[in-house]
Amino acid sequence: MADISSPTTKVVDAPRRQRGQIMLFVTTQPMGSAGLIVIMIMMIAGIFAESVAPHDPVTMNYMAMLAPPTLEHPFGTDAYGRDVLSRIIYGARTALVIGLVSSFLGSSVGALIGVASAYFGGKTDMAIQRLIDILLSFPIIILAMVMVAILGRNLWLGIDINLVLAIAIPIIPKVARVTRSAALSIRELPYIDAARTAGFSHARIVLRHMLPNVMAPYLILLTAFIAQAILLEASLSFLGLGVTEPTPAWGLMLSGNNADFYREAPWLVLFPGLAISLAVFAFNLFGDSLRDFLDPKFKA
Amino acid sequence: MTIDSQNLYRAETGPLVEQSEPLLSVENLNVEFVTSRGTLRAVEGVSYKVWPGEIVALVGESGCGKSVSSLAIMGLLPKPAGRVTAGRILFEGQNLLDLSDAQMREHRGRDVSMIFQEPMTSLNPVLTIGVQIMEPLLTHLNMTVQEARGRALELLRLVGITDPERRLNQYPHQFSGGMRQRVMIAIGLSCNPKLIIADEPTTALDVTIQAQILELMRDLSRQLNIALIIITHNLGIVARYADRVNVMYAGRQIEQARAGALFGRPLHPYTLSLLSSVPRLDQRRDHKLATIEGSPPNLLDPPLGCRFAPRCPFRIQQCNEEPPLVEVEPGCRSACWRSRELLRGDLALKPQPAIPDHDAAEEVDVAPHIVVRNLHKHFKVSSGGFLRSATSLVRAVDGVSFEIGPGETLGLVGESGCGKSTVGRILLGLEEPTEGDILFNGAPLPLGSRRSARDARRAIQVIFQDPYASLNPRMTIGQIIAEPLLVYRLEPNRAAAAARVTELLRHVGLFDYMSERYPHELSGGQRQRAGIARALAMQPDVIVCDEPVSALDVSIQGQIINLLEDLQQRLGLTYLFVAHDLAVVRHISTRVAVMYLGRIVEVAKRDELYANPQHPYTRALLDAAPIPDPAIEKSRKPRALTGELPSPLNQVPGCVFHTRCPLASAACREVVPELRELSPGHRAACIKV
Amino acid sequence: MVTYLLKRLLLMIPTLLGVALLVFFMLRVLPGDIVEIKLSADGAVVSQQALEAERARLGLDKPLAAQLGDWLVGLTTGDLGRSMWTNRPVYDEIATRLPLTFQVALMATVIAVFVALPMGTLSALYRGSWLDYTLRIVTMAGLAVPSFWLGMLVIMMLLLWFDWLPPLGYKPFWEDPIANISLLIWPALVIGIRYSAVVARMMRSSIIEVMQEDYIRTARAKGLFERVVVARHAMRNAMLPTITVVGLEFAFLLGGLVVTEQVFNLNGIGRLFVQAAANNDFTLIQGIVMLIALIFVMINLLIDVLYALLDPRIRFQ
């Protein structure tokens, strides 16, 4: 159908005025916009948890142990009488901080390694790619668990830095692989040849001509791995290898003896899991739409 | 293949059957596409007829609706975006648009079949050729597998594929592009259709293969009395093969005539301009090319009235109303208010200014600007052996030497894979040669990508083929052009650089405000101009033009060629012009070198080479390229070079061309011929001349 | 074809060797002595003698080169050392649990393939319809729901609605098929849901991509029935990338099983790995990591074989 694909179909690849970009995203990607709204609500809840949450998430209340959902405790209380809704709201903060930081860390280091590996080529590239091959042969949760076992814990401002690292490290090889191939295909394009013909320095070619054009896959991966990181944090916390009590975290709320109340207190199982699912779903939805939006190949 | 002489000569007379019932009659066809940016009216009011056994051409530039209208005949418009909004398509009296999907399916491949542009991707990679040829036979003709196999073998022989028993069980990747197109033809012929639609069937193929395929299609059409609709943008193909022609522009049909009449006296200004903007293989270059200014309209928002009016040199007030397609003289229809004036010869394009002849200046003996000596570029290709990965050597460039004088244009022609682009890339420092050296203004040019090499190379710049990929999509046109100015401090400050950008934009025929635009906001031709401005910003002496017009539409090609010529004269530039289009090369070059499989086989002054080609390959190339003039085409004998390019993995001993050469003898298989001087400045590498 | 496979087989060796070296050096080069981490993680104050004794028991008192030699030689003979926690051979710890995990993985794969292929294909063929949207939302939900929570929901549902729980304790299939299946079907289902979501998405996008290929247009231009176009021309080509995903996800199933086995109280490899990680049982960790790497390269070999069977461009290389 070469006939009807006029040059204008290639516009997606280039920057446009930002407001127009956002409007275009909202109008063409309704599902992604829905995801974005959920993400924003979660962010607001996480940032302003102190004012949003009806109760303190850590204060125990032995008078109200395992209370079913009421107006006072919309999502009920846990075995220590702590308000489940408040713990979920504070848990959003934990999930988002760990998810955002580790995905940003992992994706950025990965992208840098990927682009550098593609640009330098040769033996450097070979060595990096073999290492990445090896790391890619493991499920990310296994890598993260090995990292947790090796690194131990290291609390800093209430965040377990080593947990963030343990989640970030398995992301690195995945992002590096994708950005490397993106950078490799860009390296073959005539405008890079033109820059080389003009005799520009390697630094200028990489920073000015290659990196900006790898931004699209980078952004897509970044959002996709926020979802993965949230899921990973929840799984690790569930296994007792992630966030520890008393910090409120979704995965933690489902772990240990909290799971023994299937019959007595199903709300303890229901709501934290819903929170995880909704958060991951929202980021996936947004990431998918972002890919459709930025990648012309998937355009209708 | 033998064709009786009566059939052969029908090409000259054309079928005398207009009185009889047409096989296909397209009436007032309208096709729309619903896109995210609005409704695109791809085809509006197209009507034409095809009689049994004749060859009808649908000509136009990309986006004019020629392919879409043929997909409508096949019922293959992409769903749900495309739909026919009005009109009838009568095939043997039956309106195809009334048929249900199931009835349409029975029709496809049996009565009408289609051949597509891309032979490399049009066959299913995981099914054998045999299965793919037998499919329509089993579906439509209820043949047994045994019968279908027999017919498939017969078809393969018919389209000139040797050893069909073995070939039948092979997969598409084991065939070359030309051979795959032959297989596509075999599939198209399988059920003895009455009509074959060929959509740009040879655009993706080299010129010698193109000639083979088109000759085959014409012969089979005559022999089997199958009507053929050829969709193409190539006016030469139309002139050589078509009986009747329909010209389309921006979704509308603007002219319809017999081939002879159309080329002899076009009755629409678009056709007239198009014909005079195409460089000619058979004519000396003495004038600049006529051009069609501007670019085709956006079909999402087309102009009112005549679509061509904004670009038309004969525009009048009345053109604000849409001109109907009317019969101007018997058999010739035109959609132009002034077609009668064109018929009387009252309207003519302004004559183009003459170009001073370079040849005179060349007689003065000046030192060459660039000397290329014994250039080699060999690539190692791993061909997957066991344990020890076997590598074969591809000799992309194998001992090439030439000189380019100051202000001269050396045209480097050849088919794909001949190494012409690699020579350009070595000159630009994008590839390091395996052997050989280059002198620039008498001094050796440092090769490779080291700092010193890059600095020395600033005087050699480049214009690429693909206007979409040659500009960084994340930078504005202004930033792209200003970048070298600022990096090399060619201008003292940003303001001066901005002023220089404006000046450069004007040089290449763009407007000041375009410096703020991103590449995707410009048309293909404008992007190519921006690419030229970027090259000029470096103040080069030499520009390597790597197929600079082959990705552009015919009406835009002329503009860019003229611009390159203007700039050469104004700035005293030297060009290495790499291209496959012999006519374009003839127009722009001072001297021409022909390459085949990594070697230069012939080099001569432009007119000498075209008037008096010596090497059999040069002759074959010139023979294969069609000329947009049916009168001349009739006088040329149909001779196509047989065979295909040998695989670059197998090194050909002796003369690289001997496998396809009509003159080849035993000696040619042993001796590697040297470039010998036949007359002053004319050298050829062949022991037979 | 044979040389192709032999070459692939040989290519497994450097990968496995790489994993072995990486594991070896990671546990020895990183800051902190694994024995110290292990022993002090138990809470007690550790005496120097205890450390030395433990090092000697694990062979960590030897020079690095000798340790590496032991490790590599051990790998080729299946000797993966002894668990730092139970003191049983790592090989035995793994071997007793492998059948259970393998069976769950196999069942999950069957479920995934049977659910995902039709789902992905339908979604692609009716692209943009309400069916496509529904299926896409369902698959995306399948990706978002954490498998441990899904497992808990399943148990809760069985308990609250049917007042029934899967049998405790694992019985091999040939001993008690009913008990075996009624125990393992639930984790297989839970894992299978996520698995089929991944495969269905791949199938959808590859069918969409293939349906835009020129050869699909050729097939239609021949007048073939649409079902033939889809089944013979589209599906076979779309299967190639899908097979890769099915294989890789199978190799990665252990990731999901790590948490799912925990929820269902299954004594499989996943649970073993969680225990090893929680107990800082480094010998066991390295043993399981090697097992995962071995599974990964074997699966890749299998994918290569299937590819070669389906794609003549590889078969006739």
Paired tokens of A30: 């309704």
Break chain B into its structural domains and give their ranges: 22-111+193-276+286-354, 119-192
Question: Are C298 and C187 a contacting pair, CB within 8 Å?
Answer: no
Domains of chain C: 32-79 (no CATH), 90-316 (1.10.3720.10)
The DSSP-derived string for B179-210 is HHHHHHHHHHHTT--SEEEEESTTTTS-HHHH
Q: Which residue has the tokens 């040939």?
A: C174
Q: Which residues contact residue A118 at a Cβ distance below 8 angstroms, ignoring those fewer than 6 apart? A: A125, A179, A180, A181, A183, A184, A187
Question: Are A143 and A226 a contacting pair, CB within 8 Å?
Answer: no
Contact A198 B40 (CB under 8 A): no
CA distances from B317 to A186, B266, B272 (A): 49, 22, 20
Which chains have 3+ CB pairs within 8 A of C?
A, B
Helix H or strand E segment including B388: none
Which chains have 3+ CB pairs within 8 A of B?
A, C
Peptide bond into B80 cis (omega under 30): yes
Q: Which residue has the tokens 């195409």?
A: B278
HSE of C273 in the Cβ direction (CA atoms, 13 Å)? 29
> Within a 10 A sphere around the Cβ of B41, how many other Cβ atoms?
19
Query: In this predicted complex, what is the ipTM?
Result: 0.83
- Sign, CA dihedral C96-C100-C106-C112, equals negative
**B 61-100: CB under 8 A from A:** 62-68, 78
Contact of A2 with chain C, judged by CB distance below 8 Å, is answered with no
Q: Would you call A52 helix, strand, or coil by DSSP?
A: helix
**A 178-217: CB under 8 A from B:** 189-191, 193-200, 204, 208-209, 212-213
At residue B2, the pLDDT reads: 39
Distance CA(C114)–CA(C93), nearest Å, equals 33
B75 CA: distance to closest CA in chain C (Å)? 9
- Residue B591's DSSP bridge partners are B410, B605
pLDDT of residue A27 exceeding 70: yes
CA nearest A37: which of A220, A296, A289?
A289
CA distances from B309 to A247, B255, B256, B298, B345 (A): 74, 15, 18, 14, 19
Mutate which of A42, A88, A131, A146 to disrupt the C interface (most C C-beta within 10 Å)? A146
CA nearest A177: which of A106, A103, A108, A110?
A110
Q: Which residue has the tokens 């995903």?
A: C245
Q: Would you call B30 helix, strand, or coil by DSSP?
A: strand
Paired tokens of B217: 């299609």
Q: Would you call B370 helix, strand, or coil by DSSP?
A: strand
Contact list in B for residue A182 (CB cut-off 8 A) is: none
What's the DSSP call for residue C233?
I
The DSSP-derived string for B542-566 is EEEEESTTTTS-HHHHHHHHHHHHH
Question: Are B227 and B639 a contacting pair, CB within 8 Å?
Answer: no
Choose the weakest-confidence range: A12-16, A163-167, A192-196.
Answer: A12-16
Paired tokens of B236: 């030469």
State pLDDT tens for residues C250-294.
988 888 888 898 888 888 999 899 888 887 787 888 889 889 888
Q: Would you call B246 helix, strand, or coil by DSSP?
A: strand
Q: What are the contacts of C178-182 at 24+ separation with CB within 8 A? A: C180/C103
Contact A7 B454 (CB under 8 A): no
Q: In chain A, what is the greatest distance between 2 CA atoms, to the nearest angstrom?
A: 77
Q: Which residue of B has its CA nearest to C10?
A: B387
Report the share of chain B in percent with pLDDT over 90: 42
Q: Would you call B115 helix, strand, or coil by DSSP?
A: strand
- Sign, CA dihedral A18-A22-A27-A28, equals positive
State pLDDT tens for residues B569-598.
899 999 999 999 899 999 899 999 999 989
Which ranges of B435-589 does DSSP label H, i.e. alpha helix?
451-456, 477-487, 494-507, 524-537, 554-571, 582-588
Contact of B297 with chain A, judged by CB distance below 8 Å, is answered with no
Question: Are B107 and B139 a contacting pair, CB within 8 Å?
Answer: no
- Residue B244's DSSP bridge partners are B56, B258
Distance CA(B626)–CA(C54), nearest Å, equals 87
Question: Are A221 and A172 a contacting pair, CB within 8 Å?
Answer: no
pLDDT of residue A99 exceeding 90: yes
pLDDT of residue B508 exceeding 80: yes
Which of B63, B429, B468 is the closest to A4 by Cβ?
Answer: B63
pLDDT of residue B9 exceeding 60: no
Question: Are B655 and B671 a contacting pair, CB within 8 Å?
Answer: yes
Strand duo B409-413 + B591-596: pairing: parallel
pLDDT of residue B16 exceeding 50: no
Strands (DSSP E) found in B261-419: 326-329, 332-334, 370-382, 391-404, 409-413
pLDDT of residue A1 exceeding 50: no
HSE of C200 in the Cβ direction (CA atoms, 13 Å)? 28
Mean pLDDT of C188-209: 92
pLDDT of residue B365 exceeding 90: no
User: If you average pLDDT over every residue of chain B, what do you get?
Assistant: 86
Tell me which range, B393-397, B407-411, C312-316, is most confidently predicted by mean pLDDT: B407-411
CATH class of B22-111+193-276+286-354: alpha beta
**A 220-249: CB under 8 A from C:** 227, 231, 234-235, 238-241
pTM above threshold 0.90: no
C-alpha A136 chain-centroid distance? 18
Distance CA(B339)–CA(B422), nearest Å, equals 48
Contact list in B for residue A2 (CB cut-off 8 A) is: 62, 67, 117
HSE of B350 in the Cβ direction (CA atoms, 13 Å)? 9
Q: Which residue of A has its CA nearest to C212?
A: A1
- Residue B24's DSSP bridge partners are B50, B91
Distance CA(C58)–CA(C55), nearest Å, equals 5
Which ranges of B83-234 does DSSP label H, i.e. alpha helix?
101-107, 129-140, 145-158, 164-168, 177-189, 207-224
Contact list in C for residue A296 (CB cut-off 8 A) is: none
At residue B244, the pLDDT reads: 92
Strand duo B370-382 + B542-546: pairing: unpaired
B185 CA: distance to closest CA in chain C (Å)? 11
HSE of C207 in the Cβ direction (CA atoms, 13 Å)? 24
- Report phi then psi at B36, rounded to 5: -70, -20
State pLDDT tens for residues B136-161.
999 999 999 999 999 999 999 999 89
Question: Are A283 and A227 a contacting pair, CB within 8 Å?
Answer: yes
pLDDT of residue A23 exceeding 60: yes
Contact C149 A269 (CB under 8 A): yes
Paired tokens of B481: 């052009």
User: If you average pLDDT over every residue of chain C, what do you get?
Assistant: 85
State pLDDT tens for residues A107-132.
999 998 998 888 878 888 888 888 89
Distance CA(B239)–CA(B260), nearest Å, equals 8
Contact of C1 with chain B, judged by CB distance below 8 Å, is answered with no
At residue C37, the pLDDT reads: 67
Contact B108 C222 (CB under 8 A): yes
Q: Which residue has the tokens 């640009």?
A: A119
State pLDDT tens for residues C113-144.
999 999 999 999 998 889 998 998 999 999 99
Contact of B542 with chain A, judged by CB distance below 8 Å, is answered with no
Break chain A into its structural domains and give their ranges: 90-295
Query: What dotted CATH number matches A90-295?
Result: 1.10.3720.10
Q: Which residue of C has its CA nearest to B385?
A: C3
Q: Which residues contact residue B466 at a Cβ distance below 8 angstroms, ignoring those fewer than 6 apart? A: A190, B551
CA nearest B407: which of B358, B453, B443?
B358
Distance CA(A266)–CA(C245), nearest Å, equals 36
